[in-house]
Amino acid sequence: TEYETILVERHDRTALITLNRPKALNALDLTVMAEVVDAATTLDRDPDVGALVITGSAKAFAAGADIKEMRPNGYMDVYLSDWFSAWDRLGDVRKPTIAAVSGYALGGGCELAMMCDILLAADTAVFGQPEIKLGVIPGIGGSQRLTRAIGKAKAMDLCLTGRTMDADEAERAGLVSRIVPAADLLTEALSTAATIAGMSTPIAMMAKESVNRAFETTLAEGVRFERRLFHATFATADQKEGMAAFTEKRTPSFTHR
């Protein structure tokens, strides 16, 4: 598929989606939203893809939702079109996703990064939810995912003052999985994706589903959910292969079944 605002590449069992609106620092307009969601859901259905990476440019992962596009709208426009709700479909992607963030990840950019499963940050990354400065609040889950990721103290600070945090603060706060030198960001993200894609894909999907369950339920229900999926892994060929390979002291060859 030809896209206008993103680039999509395949590397073996991984896929890379690059936001590509350099003139607007990858501001997330409705076209970007539709294209990222379309690409991610298409790749998610592809049996030859085991993990997805989403990245931006060196200067900006994404500087937020597109302010100029949003500006003229009234309540009925955004309510009736359910503005931004299509991003929820990115959260429905079942394969592991990695956000590789360099430069600005503000507003919707930070929210997009937080929708991914692993957040790799370049040492140049800058995170924030500055919507309040524009007279709005986060609209793609920022107030919820940021609070779950870093707690009330810092989420309130960021959402109420609109201040940004650098990569070090974001990592200390628990927003970021790992910080890497900016020059190595994409290589690291693709190699992490390749590592994951080399595991059994259905098992990786179950691991993702199980971790995500922790945000939706009580501990007892979450542990029960995990145990049911753990039991289900014994129905896969890949469990047989993984445990046989360990016993036979060789590298497993997963068939993703």
Give me the active site residues, please: 65, 108, 111, 131
DSSP for residue 98: E
User: Which region among 3-11, 23-31, 35-43, 91-99 touches ligand HXC (by CB under 6 A)?
Assistant: 23-31
Those residues whose C-beta lies under 8 Å from the C-beta of residue 7, and which sit 6 or more positions away, are 16, 17, 18, 20
Question: Among residue numbers 98 through 117, which ones bind ligand HXC (CB under 6 A)?
Answer: 104, 106-108
Determine how many CB atoms are found less than 10 A away from the CB of residue 135: 6
Question: Among residue numbers 137 through 156, which ones bind ligand HXC (CB under 6 A)?
Answer: 138-139
Which residue type sits at 214?
A
Q: Which is nearer to ligand HXC, 86 or 134 (CB)?
A: 134
Determine how many CB atoms are found less than 10 A away from the CB of residue 12: 13
**Tokens 């605002």 — which residue?**
5
* By the rule CB under 6 A, 136 interacts with ligand HXC: yes
* By the rule CB under 6 A, 30 interacts with ligand HXC: no
**How distant, in Å, are the alpha carbons of 128, 153, 167, 176 from that of 157?**
10, 6, 16, 18
Between CA 121 and CA 114 the distance in angstroms is 12
Size of the site for ligand HXC (CB under 6 A): 19
* By the rule CB under 6 A, 24 interacts with ligand HXC: yes
* By the rule CB under 6 A, 32 interacts with ligand HXC: no
Q: Which is nearer to ligand HXC, 164 or 200 (CB)?
A: 164
**How distant, in Å, are the alpha carbons of 77, 146, 156, 159, 215 from that of 138?**
17, 10, 12, 8, 19
Q: How far is the CB of 33 from ligand HXC (least distance, A)?
A: 11
* By the rule CB under 6 A, 68 interacts with ligand HXC: yes
Q: Which is nearer to ligand HXC, 125 or 204 (CB)?
A: 125
* By the rule CB under 6 A, 131 interacts with ligand HXC: yes
Q: Name the 3-class secondary structure at 238.
A: helix
Q: Which is nearer to ligand HXC, 39 or 63 (CB)?
A: 63
Between CA 248 and CA 257 the distance in angstroms is 20
| Contact residues: ligand HXC, CB under 6 A | 24-25, 27, 63-68, 104, 106-108, 130-131, 134, 136, 138-139
